[in-house]
């Protein structure tokens, strides 16, 4: 079985992205990397001849989950200093109600 | 803080990461071996699926498995999504301290262009699902994405569906699926066992209803807490704040 260079690059990029999603201290960066991971994963499913899974991965795994993460990030109480938020403000307390 | 990181502690952590590296290497070796030797022998279910395909009512193998042979799984998936919405709706509503910036004209016109296109693509995916890639979940996800876009732009289209009807519309997907399943049992004796003559139309209607409910559920998940009339929600929040103040 000949593994083409494209598949090899795709696999390596997926592993690299997954690693950086996990270790990134900046949550906004992690979410953006997660979305790109989902899109490349959809490409990998296409390469595996599973277009149904690719469609679901791109729409649900990457698009809607990414949107959910971004909206959750906005609602989180501010974390460590210097962390980027979606609404670009630092500090300020959030009492929830 | 430094004291707790004694030498033994650090040693244990290093051993742990070494162990996970070794396990990772073993996993990759097994995967590479599987790739190079042609993978695991097939379980043989593909032939059974193909043999029964013309009885299933659809021409796509994936749709036949999802909505006919293993429709039980899809039914439970619909209920899982429904439960997710129930859990999210039971959370406390979120009120941003700073109001959102006004909607730009680019976003507004983008929504006007994209929403009809997304509804069209969702409908096409639903229809295409019977003989190629596509289906209820993919169509539902596109519709959910359209809902998210409407929510982001706080479009007036959001008020087309009255808030009172939203829970009913979300319940409709799993409930309709259940009614079809029980109906098939009453008529034919098997839970979710459609008749061969009616399978095609049953699956298309089921997928359409399920896609609508999935789209609404996903958009509702994105929105967060249950939408309420603003005045009553505000009144409840005020009452809560007063109670907390009295305590």
- Residue B9: predicted pLDDT: 72
Taking CB atoms and an 8 Å limit, are B133 and A51 in contact across chains?
yes
Q: What domain range includes position A62?
A: 25-79
Q: Place A43 in a pLDDT band, splitting at 50, 70 and 90.
A: very high
Check residues B223 and A87 and name the one with the higher pLDDT. Answer: B223
Give mean pLDDT, residues A87-91: 48
Percent of chain A residues topping a pLDDT of 90: 41
Facing A64 at nearest CB: one of B62, B135, B218 = B218
Taking CB atoms and an 8 Å limit, are B133 and A94 in contact across chains?
no
Taking CB atoms and an 8 Å limit, are A64 and B133 in contact across chains?
no
Whether B154 is covered by a domain: the verdict is yes
Whether B76 is covered by a domain: the verdict is yes
Q: Place A78 in a pLDDT band, splitting at 50, 70 and 90.
A: low
- Residue A86: predicted pLDDT: 59
Which residue is it, tokens 């097939």?
B42
How many structural domains are present in chain A? 1
Would you list which residues of chain B are within 8 Å, Cβ to Cβ, of chain A?
A: 35-36, 38, 62, 92, 94-98, 125, 132-135, 137-138, 141-142, 144-145, 148, 218, 221-222, 224, 237, 240-241
- Determine the Cα–Cα distance for residues B172 and B152; give it in Å rounded to an integer: 25
Total CB pairs under 8 A between chain A and B: 56
Whether A3 is covered by a domain: the verdict is no
Whether B34 is covered by a domain: the verdict is no
Closest-CA residue of A relative to B143 is A59
**Do A59 and B145 form a contact (C-beta atoms < 8 A)?**
yes
Taking CB atoms and an 8 Å limit, are B137 and A71 in contact across chains?
no
Closest-CA residue of A relative to B66 is A52
A1 shares contact with chain B (CB less than 8 Å): yes
- Residue B10: predicted pLDDT: 75
Whether B159 is covered by a domain: the verdict is yes
Closest-CA residue of A relative to B98 is A87
Which residue is it, tokens 């929600």?
B233
Whether A4 is covered by a domain: the verdict is no
- Residue A2: predicted pLDDT: 58
- For residue B152, the distance in angstroms to the closest alpha carbon of chain A comes to 10
Taking CB atoms and an 8 Å limit, are B135 and A52 in contact across chains?
yes
Check residues B227 and A29 and name the one with the higher pLDDT. Answer: A29
- For residue B92, the distance in angstroms to the closest alpha carbon of chain A comes to 7
Whether B228 is covered by a domain: the verdict is no
Taking CB atoms and an 8 Å limit, are B144 and A89 in contact across chains?
no
How many structural domains are present in chain B? 1
Taking CB atoms and an 8 Å limit, are A60 and B94 in contact across chains?
no
- Determine the Cα–Cα distance for residues B209 and B176; give it in Å rounded to an integer: 8
- Residue B216: predicted pLDDT: 92
Whether B160 is covered by a domain: the verdict is yes
User: Could you tell me the mean pLDDT of each successive run of 10 residues in chain B, 247 residues long?
Assistant: 58 86 91 77 74 80 82 90 92 73 83 92 88 84 91 81 84 90 84 79 89 91 75 54 56
Residues 6+ apart with CB under 8 A from B202: B57, B180, B194
Closest-CA residue of A relative to B24 is A15
Whether A40 is covered by a domain: the verdict is yes
- Residue A93: predicted pLDDT: 44
- For residue A56, the distance in angstroms to the closest alpha carbon of chain B comes to 5
- Position A75 pLDDT exceeds 60: yes
Q: What domain range includes position B180?
A: 59-91+103-222
A51 shares contact with chain B (CB less than 8 Å): yes
SS (H, E, C) B96-128: CCCCCCCCCHHHHHHHHHHHHHHHHHHHHHHHH
- Residue B231: predicted pLDDT: 46
Whether B124 is covered by a domain: the verdict is yes
**CA B103 from centroid of its chain's CA atoms:** 28
Whether B127 is covered by a domain: the verdict is yes
> What value, to the nearest 5°, has the Cα angle with vertex B131 and ends B129 and B132?
65
pLDDT tens figures, A53-74: 898 899 888 889 999 998 888 8
- Residue A97: predicted pLDDT: 39
Instruction: Record the pTM.
Output: 0.76
- Residue B131: predicted pLDDT: 78
């Amino acid at each position: 079985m000949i593994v083409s260079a494209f598949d090899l690059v795709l696999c390596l990029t997926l592993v690299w992205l997954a690693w950086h999603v996990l270790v990134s201290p900046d949550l906004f960066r992690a979410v953006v990397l997660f979305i790109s991971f989902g899109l490349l994963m959809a490409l990998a499913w296409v390469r595996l001849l599973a277009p149904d899974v690719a469609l679901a991965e791109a729409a649900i795994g990457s698009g809607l989950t990414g949107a959910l993460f971004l909206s959750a990030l906005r609602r989180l109480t501010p974390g460590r200093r210097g962390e980027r938020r979606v609404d670009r403000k630092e500090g300020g307390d959030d009492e929830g109600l | 803080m430094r004291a707790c990181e004694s030498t033994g502690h650090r040693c244990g952590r290093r051993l742990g990461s070494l162990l996970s590296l070794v396990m990772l290497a073993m996993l990759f070796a097994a995967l590479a071996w599987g790739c190079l030797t042609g993978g695991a022998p097939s379980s043989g279910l593909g032939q059974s699926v193909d043999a029964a395909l013309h009885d299933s009512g659809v021409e796509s193998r994936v749709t036949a498995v999802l909505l006919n042979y293993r429709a039980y799984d899809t039914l439970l998936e619909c209920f899982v999504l429904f439960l997710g919405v129930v859990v999210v709706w039971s959370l406390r509503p979120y009120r941003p301290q700073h109001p959102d910036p006004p909607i730009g004209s680019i976003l507004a016109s983008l929504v006007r262009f994209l929403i009809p296109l997304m509804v069209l693509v969702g409908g096409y995916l639903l229809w295409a699902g019977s003989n190629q890639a596509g289906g209820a979940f993919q169509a539902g996800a596109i519709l959910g994405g359209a809902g998210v876009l409407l929510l982001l732009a706080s479009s007036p289209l959001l008020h087309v569906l009255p808030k009172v009807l939203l829970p009913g519309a979300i319940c409709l997907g799993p409930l309709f699926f259940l009614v079809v399943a029980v109906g098939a049992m009453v008529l034919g004796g098997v839970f979710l066992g459609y008749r061969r003559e009616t399978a095609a139309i049953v699956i298309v209607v089921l997928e359409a209803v399920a896609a609508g409910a999935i789209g609404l559920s996903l958009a509702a998940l994105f929105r967060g807490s249950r939408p309420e009339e603003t005045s009553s929600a505000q009144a409840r929040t005020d009452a809560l704040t007063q109670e907390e103040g009295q305590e």
